[in-house]
C-alpha cells in the first residue's frame, strides 16, 4: 500500500528545500574525541559549551518512564546545529541512545527522547530553526520519524507536532531529503531506502495536524 503522505503544491508556489546533510557550523562543532561540543572563539581558540561530564546519567523525573534508565555517556554520536545557531541537537548514550537539545545562548540542555536499543539516524532542523525532525531505528526494526517543537528555556517537555512509523525489512533504511515550505504549508520529506541504498519511496510528512500527535501507524502495517 502507498505509505506516502502528500500535500498539494500550487503551480506557482515556490518550494524551498533544505538540502540534507549533517547540519554543521563553523562556529559549533564536536571535539576530535567527541567528548564535548565546542564553540570556536577564533581560528585557534575554542570553548566547550557542553561536555559529557555535564550530561544526565538517568532519565529526568519529568519524563514518563516505567523503570530507572541509566546511561553511559562515552561520546556524542552526532550533533545538528540549527540554521540560526541558537540550538544544537545531540545524541549520546551507550548502548541505549538519547536525544537532547542545547540552547547556545543560555547553555541549558533539554532531554528530548530515549529508546531501549535505539539508534538515532539523524536530526534535521527546519529552515526557521523552530522545529526539529529526527528519526531512529528500534530493535523491532521500526523506523520512526518525529517532528517536535523543542522546549523553551523555561520549559521541560517538547511539543509533539506529527509522527510516522514503519515496520521495516531488515536492511531498509531512511534518508532525510529536507524541509519543504509552500505558502503556509510545511512538510518534512524523507526517503525509504532498500538494502542497496536505492530509494523505493518518498514520504512527505506535514508539520501540522488538527491536534499534535505521537507516532502514526503507516498504511499497510
Tens-place pLDDT, residues 177-199: 889 887 778 899 998 888 888 99
Instruction: Give the residue with greater pLDDT, 161 vs 220.
Output: 161
Compute the average pLDDT of residues 82-98: 93
Q: What pLDDT was estimated at residue 197?
A: 87
> How does pLDDT run across 8-23, given as a tens digit for each residue?
222 212 223 333 345 7
Q: What predicted TM-score, i.e. pTM, was given to this entire model?
A: 0.81
Class of domain 22-55+68-169: mainly beta
> How does pLDDT run across 95-137, given as a tens digit for each residue?
889 999 999 999 999 999 987 788 898 899 999 999 999 998 8
> How does pLDDT run across 31-64, given as a tens digit for each residue?
999 999 999 998 889 999 999 999 988 888 877 7
> How does pLDDT run across 130-181, given as a tens digit for each residue?
999 999 887 777 888 999 999 988 888 899 888 888 888 778 888 888 898 8
> How does pLDDT run across 58-78, given as a tens digit for each residue?
888 877 766 677 889 999 999
Q: What pLDDT was estimated at residue 80?
A: 95
Does the pLDDT at position 211 exceed 70?
no
Domain ranges of the chain: 22-55+68-169
CA–CA separation, 164 vs 76, rounded Å?
26
List of long-range contacts for 28-37, beta carbons under 8 Å, 24+ apart? 28/79, 28/81, 28/85, 28/88, 28/104, 29/79, 30/76, 30/79, 33/75, 34/75, 34/76, 34/77, 35/75, 35/76, 36/76, 37/76, 37/79, 37/88, 37/90, 37/102
Q: What pLDDT was estimated at residue 17?
A: 31
Q: What pLDDT was estimated at residue 67?
A: 67
CA–CA separation, 95 vs 215, rounded Å?
23
Q: What pLDDT was estimated at residue 14?
A: 25
Amino acid at each position: 500500500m502507498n505509505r506516502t503522505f502528500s500535500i498539494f503544491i500550487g503551480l506557482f508556489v515556490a518550494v524551498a528545500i533544505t538540502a540534507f546533510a549533517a547540519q554543521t557550523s563553523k562556529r559549533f562543532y564536536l571535539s576530535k574525541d567527541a567528548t564535548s561540543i565546542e564553540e570556536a572563539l577564533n581560528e585557534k581558540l575554542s570553548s566547550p559549551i557542553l561536555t559529557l561530564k555535564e550530561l544526565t546519567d538517568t532519565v529526568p523525573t519529568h519524563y514518563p518512564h516505567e523503570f530507572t534508565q541509566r546511561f553511559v555517556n562515552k561520546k556524542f554520536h552526532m550533533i545538528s546545529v540549527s540554521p540560526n545557531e541558537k540550538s544544537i541537537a545531540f545524541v549520546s548514550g551507550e548502548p541505549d541512545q538519547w536525544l537532547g537539545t542545547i540552547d547556545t545562548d543560555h547553555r541549558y540542555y533539554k532531554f528530548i527522547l530515549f529508546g531501549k536499543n535505539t539508534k538515532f539516524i539523524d536530526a534535521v532542523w527546519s529552515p526557521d530553526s523552530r522545529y526539529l525532525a529526527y528519526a531512529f531505528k528500534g530493535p523491532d526494526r521500526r523506523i520512526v520519524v518525529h517532528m517536535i517543537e523543542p522546549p523553551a528555556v523555561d520549559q521541560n517537555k517538547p511539543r509533539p507536532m506529527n509522527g510516522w512509523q514503519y515496520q521495516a525489512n531488515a536492511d531498509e533504511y531512511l534518508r532525510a531529503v529536507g524541509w519543504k515550505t509552500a505558502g503556509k504549508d510545511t512538510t518534512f520529506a524523507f526517503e525509504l531506502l532498500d538494502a542497496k541504498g536505492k530509494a523505493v519511496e518518498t514520504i512527505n510528512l506535514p508539520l501540522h495536524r488538527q491536534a499534535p500527535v505521537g507516532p502514526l501507524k503507516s498504511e499497510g502495517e
